[in-house]
Structure 1
């Protein structure tokens, strides 16, 4: 029984030491403080996921699209931060700039590629939340999502490149970010304002918040994966704070803004299996059915009954 309680606290670094990395070992790594911070962010993301899912059950299923997208964002982030807190999901990459600062002194830095896997999944969902709020056309949405994937992939490749060519990939990522910012802040804002003041305010709030935060990520990249300026623990705090602001806080703002917005006003006509049909749809369906039955009846009558129907059919055929 004593062995069960012999150790308490975070032993992720002991269980998953950096010496297990192949083919090289990183010597610029997170410490126990960095691991603790990653675990704290894991808890925040997990709690946010539960809250967003719980809020989804307070509205009809046909109106849960933004709840589910937002909960998916924090759910994926929970797994990613669990991995980083466990000191897993990284590669040891030789640094371009060898520093004299003891906190970043070394030749190989711990680069968490799992962070980019997280972003590859969650940033398109974030953009989908925002751009669906504006009611943007699907070609614009899909092209913007493609640019986002280019931004994340080039950021990852740049982080894993050992030479100065990493900054070329950083440039590609920044070009994609600027175009995304244009679509969100200019094109999307015009669409949202055209749908109404309430939608316009919600879009401005979440769109401006996201783009502001997204322009801080390249700074974090340049100081950590790119320039090897700040320690991995500081990198963890920088990215962690940004992710909390860009995911759970963003999600809370988005769902609060959508509390009085019907998805149908955004062009999202979602019908559940037990939804009652609208009276106008019923009458339209009845009229269409009657017209179809009439047409069918006319043809049947022409084939089976003599008289006027046959004459009319014959005339029409002629």
Structure 2
């Protein structure tokens, strides 16, 4: 059982490592051509790069913490604590909403992860209350991604809207499956074995992260339609609550 868990973790390392190559290659290949979207590519590489390191820790048996709720894969939750905000950040870089909207979505995401940690590390009523809080926060995040973010976003080219919509839908659909796995795993009703739990989480992580990165890189031409000159302009887009109403550049 332990061997099987490690095998799935090693597959996660390989998949996430492979998924990091395209954005890094795009970043370095385009840097010599004056490509100004380094922040986009760095964000994408950070998603799969951090996940690869987390799976490496799990494959080597590091990052496991003994809690009243059982062994907690701390490396997995640290991965999610870093990579899920990065995924939301990339969506924000495409949509360019007011800063308060993006910060709010990332804050709700952190609440979800914290609730998941508490639910997994405890038992009984405390665990289920924490799971319920995380579930409510996730419902708010889904509403934010489906309604608030698009509604408050800057008006962009159709290509940007299409890429954003695809990535947003991938995120919402796949992230909705994580609490289902938690319920079926030993953390919930115990229907899944630890090895099966690892297998399912690796599969979901690969599709939701590597798949996200692959679609984003394939749609990199949308970045040229953002009307942003450089990384400083990207940062400036989030400095004012009225950023969403700013006119896009003609460049």
CA distance in 2, matches of 1:229, 1:204: 34
Instruction: Provide the residue aligned with 1:27 in structure 2.
Output: none
Instruction: Provide the residue aligned with 2:231 in structure 1.
Output: 270
Q: Extract structure 1 runs of 4+ deviating beyond 4 A.
A: none
Deviations 1:15-46 (A, max 9, x none): xxxxxxxxxxxxxxx42112111101101111
Instruction: Provide the residue aligned with 1:261 in structure 2.
Output: 223
CA distance in 2, matches of 1:151, 1:271: 30
Instruction: Provide the residue aligned with 2:118 in structure 1.
Output: 157
1:185 aligned to which of 139, 146, 150: 146
Instruction: Provide the residue aligned with 1:241 in structure 2.
Output: 203
Distance apart, 1:271 and its partner CA: 6.1
Could you tell me which runs of 5 or more consecutive residues in structure 1 were left unpaired when the two chains were aligned: 1-29, 96-108, 273-318
Higher helix share: 2
Instruction: Provide the residue aligned with 1:81 in structure 2.
Output: 55
Q: What aligned pairs does 1:203-242 form with structure 2 within 5 A after superposition?
A: 203-224=164-185, 225-242=187-204
The number of residues matched between the two structures is 229
Asked whether the equivalents of residues 160 and 222 of structure 2 are also in contact (C-alpha less than 8 Å), the reply is no
CA distance in 2, matches of 1:63, 1:199: 14
Q: What aligned pairs does 1:278-293 form with structure 2 within 5 A after superposition?
A: none
Asked whether the equivalents of residues 81 and 110 of structure 2 are also in contact (C-alpha less than 8 Å), the reply is yes
Deviations 1:267-311 (A, max 9, x none): 574369xxxxxxxxxxxxxxxxxxxxxxxxxxxxxxxxxxxxxxx
CA distance in 1, matches of 2:180, 2:192: 11
TM (norm. structure 1) is: 0.68
Asked whether the equivalents of residues 89 and 102 of structure 2 are also in contact (C-alpha less than 8 Å), the reply is yes
More relative contact order, 1 or 2 (CA 8 Å, 6+ apart):
2
CA 1:258/1:187 → structure 2, altered by over 3 Å: closer, same or farther? farther
CA distance in 2, matches of 1:53, 1:246: 18
RMSD: 2.0
Q: What aligned pairs does 1:189-200 form with structure 2 within 5 A after superposition?
A: 189-191=150-152, 194-200=155-161
CA distance in 2, matches of 1:226, 1:44: 27
Distance apart, 1:165 and its partner CA: 1.5
Asked whether the equivalents of residues 34 and 233 of structure 1 are also in contact (C-alpha less than 8 Å), the reply is yes
Q: What aligned pairs does 1:65-80 form with structure 2 within 5 A after superposition?
A: 65-80=39-54
Distance apart, 1:171 and its partner CA: 1.0
CA 1:263/1:82 → structure 2, altered by over 3 Å: closer, same or farther? farther
TM (norm. structure 2) is: 0.85
2:28 aligned to which of 51, 57, 69: 57
